[in-house]
Amino acid sequence: MITQPDRTQADHTPPDLSALVDVENGIISRQIFVDESIFAMEMKNLFGRAWLFVGHESQIPHPGDYFTSRMGTDAVLMTRGTDDQVYVLLNSCRHRGMKICRYDEGNTMTFTCPYHGWSYSIDGEIVDTPGDLFGVPQFGGAYGRKLRREDWGLVRPGRVENYRGLIFATWDAGAPDFADYVGTFVHWLNNLADSMAGVRAGAETIAGVQRWRVPANWKFVAENFLGDSYHADTTHSSVETVGIGPAGPGGTRHGTGPDALAARRAKFQRSVSYPLLGHGACDSPDEVRPSPTFTDRPELTEYFAEMNARKQEIRREQGAPPGANGPATLFPSMSFHALGFPKSILVAHPVSPWETEMWRWYVVDKDMRADAREWLRHYYLRYSGPGGMTEQDDMENWDYATNASRGTQAQTFDYNYAQGIGMTTPCSLDGAVESTHWSTEENARNFYARWARITSGESWADLMTEPTTPNTIGNGTIAQSPSARAGV
């Protein structure tokens, strides 16, 4: 059993996370999901340094367009300058910290603080860098024209990356290049960013982002899409009975029939994870997934089948894998489906150890015909989001798991992540391993190994190399339960 840290001490010594995450045996302390000091470490060392998803450029198509987003617990603005470039700015005035923009989205060249009137411009013809301080009331009288406005612009992240329309940012200017951070997991991002027919950067988001809060720890959300295929049969059985997918009753929520799903699990479905980088997915890069059958709309069956065929042809020409559709999670908290049934992005924004703000984007092709787009919009809403049947199932699990783990006695007993230990093979993609069974917790173990290292504050130089202690993930044995080890 993992020894819990002594919370009676007043020395405020950061907990040793490596002692709370035993990846070799698949045992993880509940403490990492409920402890406030660990949450503070996450916000500083993890969300303060990792590459985070901010939004999609289709949300801000014109100069002056903006979208209010988040990076960890910080509010940010994603905006397009007069140079047509995308910028990310901390949504906080440099004078007294007031939020300078309180709208979800809009268009403006100037953000004016409602507290004391400091204003910031994104107009490249007025300021050298978008977000620079421009207007200061009483600049001549109260400041004697001595305030160096160029030193008091809005705070900008250390780095910003526009990857095929997906906008990412990190607060850490010393973070590794985005390509190195992502690694070969980029194939899952490609399928998300490209159209269903494989056209590069051919996707866009449907207008509007669903936002709601769940009384759960953010890590439950991330690991759900990272590789937890195990929960589906139990958690989502009622959804399958209703038949919310393209095939209706008798088909799965993703559009295949139960026989096809069983065959897929037996022969094709494998999970992929990245022991060093922490990313993971519920499918293999080499698995070809067929497009669904629409029982009542045969014309849509033909339409999506044609797009899938074109995509496979493009991937063959590129020498790219035919699969990599997810569900998947880019470490730490960007989860998504990339196949199309559904095709969406979910970011778990941490609020506290016990609360998460969920943001859901829905993705379609830029050139998708109107009836297909409208069908997908309705399908997405009945599948995901606060009103979606599948998401409601998941939220109930995350809510009750977090709450039940907060008890004084509950915190002293560990979680079991032993499924699939020793059951991996090399993947066709560099840096990844593949499970030998469709259900595994290898992805979660690798996620938490990465989580413990970065949250503990390891340097990027160390984080981008294998740990000095040999990585024994996948070579251990299934450990006894906490009660068994305690002799209960």
What is the predicted pLDDT for the residue at 5?
A: 56
Torsion angle in degrees (nearest 10) through CA of 461, 464, 467, 468:
-40
Q: What is the pLDDT of residues 315-368, one digit of tens each?
A: 999 999 999 999 999 999 999 999 888 999 999 999 999 999 999 999 999 999
Give the other-Cβ count within 10 Å of 210's Cβ: 19
Q: 337 near 289, Cβ under 8 Å?
A: no
pLDDT score at 273: 96
Residue 239: its pLDDT value, please? Answer: 78
pLDDT attached to residue 429? 97
pLDDT for 481 equals 35
CA–CA–CA angle 43, 44, 48 (5° rounding): 85
* Residue 185 Cα distances to 10, 226, 315, angstroms: 42, 12, 15
Q: How far apart are CA 40 and CA 275, in angstroms?
A: 25
Position 486 scores a pLDDT of 32
Q: Retrieve residue 209's tokens.
A: 């982002």
> Could you report the per-residue pLDDT of 88-97, keeping only the tens digit for each?
999 999 999 9
> Tell me, what's the pLDDT at 113?
97
Strand partners, 68: 77
* pLDDT score for 238: 79
Cα–Cα dist 133/434, whole Å: 50
pLDDT of residue 66: 98
Q: What is the pTM of this model?
A: 0.91
CB 189 within 8 A of CB 164: yes
Torsional sign, CA 203, 381, 378, 271: positive
For the chain, which residues score pLDDT lower than 50? Answer: 7-10, 469-488
- Which amino acid type is present at position 29? S
What pLDDT score was predicted for residue 266?
A: 63
Half-sphere exposure (Cβ direction) of 113: Cα atoms closer than 13 Å: 24
